[in-house]
Amino acid sequence: MDSFVERARDLPILGTGISTEFGARHSGLDLLEFRRRYPNFAQFLEIGADLDRGIDDDARAWAAAGGSVTYHFLDLNLEESEDLDAHWIEDTAAAAREVGAAWLCGDAGLWHIGPRDRGHGILMPPILSQDSALEMAANVAALREASGFEVLPENPPAHVFVGPLHLLDYFARVIDGADSGMLLDVAHLAVYQRVQGNAPLTGLDGFPLERVLEIHVAGGTPFEWQGRPFVDDDHGTQVLEETWTILEHVLPLTSNLKALVFEGERNAIEEVVPIFERIDILRKKAGR
């Protein structure tokens, strides 16, 4: 098996992209229309999918027209070895191959409690401990080997985190143990730092940013409950200032960056364009 550096070299550079989930067009972004009007902001499509619903017609049409895609799973507990069953791997790899996905990625934690069933769906972060990091690392490597796809774990969103490690320290251990790259969601990281009472860039100084192959940017809505700050990761158009601070800091340091997504699938085209424009300015400034 090649090392991360060798494998990363062989992965395509996808550029700036957009995301979708099953049926998203009916309540949000018209993918093909967006690509027609803003091809530089829609160089690839990240397809959020689960085996239950499959891939919708819009995403299939994108792939059929030769558009680049990535496959973002919404139904795997990457923290739990027992969830990584042969059927899921086989069917997910087949779906990803069918649309020509460049790699697999997804929020790394728990997507369901109990059986893999949409009625049991809830996105929870991993327990930020060494044991959990080692188990997740083993799962990333096992999934990569069994599926034939590079696997990028993503730091997930949450209101509350449990465990002794800083989120970035946890993921540094995961990607080191798996000899893997990572998908850094700077909006999720901004929320983590805020709810933990940290400055936006806390923990980034020792983090291996050269392992970040993909970045997500997204909007979120702050609210308070019983005097504590929270942020709803609603993929709206209100991008937190801390998210911009983190993005501007990491872009020059992510030397292997292949892909950057603004997750705006729930919004209208006019609403997301100014955000893509601001991202573009930061990218160019960082030489990415």
- Shortest spacing between CB 27 and Fe ion, in angstroms: 18
Between 74 and 226, CB nearer to Fe ion: 74
3-state secondary structure of 45: strand
Q: Which is nearer to Fe ion, 144 or 216 (CB)?
A: 216
CB of 185 to Fe ion, least distance (A): 4
CB of 214 to Fe ion, least distance (A): 9
**Which position has the token pair 């990607």?**
175
Beta-strand pair 110-112/121-124: antiparallel
Cβ contacts of 183 within 8 Å, gap of 6 or more: 105, 152, 153, 154, 155, 212, 213, 214, 215, 216
Q: Which is nearer to Fe ion, 134 or 159 (CB)?
A: 159
**CA dist 88 to 62, 91, 150, 224, Å?**
24, 5, 16, 38
Residues of this chain that bind Fe ion (CB under 5 A): 185, 216
Task: Pick the closer one to Fe ion by CB: 165 or 184.
Answer: 184
Residue 125 Cβ vs Fe ion, minimum distance, rounded to whole Å: 13
CA 85/CA 147 separation, integer angstroms: 11
* Residues 103, 261: Cα–Cα separation, whole Å: 14
Q: Which residue is nearest to Fe ion (CB)?
A: 216
CB-wise, 82 or 151, nearer to Fe ion? 151
The radius of gyration of the chain from alpha carbons, rounded to an integer in Å, stands at 18
Least distance (Å) between residue 180 CB and Fe ion: 17
SS3 state of residue 43: coil
The Cα–Cα gap between 5 and 63 comes to 28
Q: Least Å distance between CB 132 and Fe ion?
A: 20
Q: Is 194 helix (H, G, I), strand (E, B) or coil?
A: helix
Q: Which residue lies nearer to Fe ion by CB, 135 or 185?
A: 185
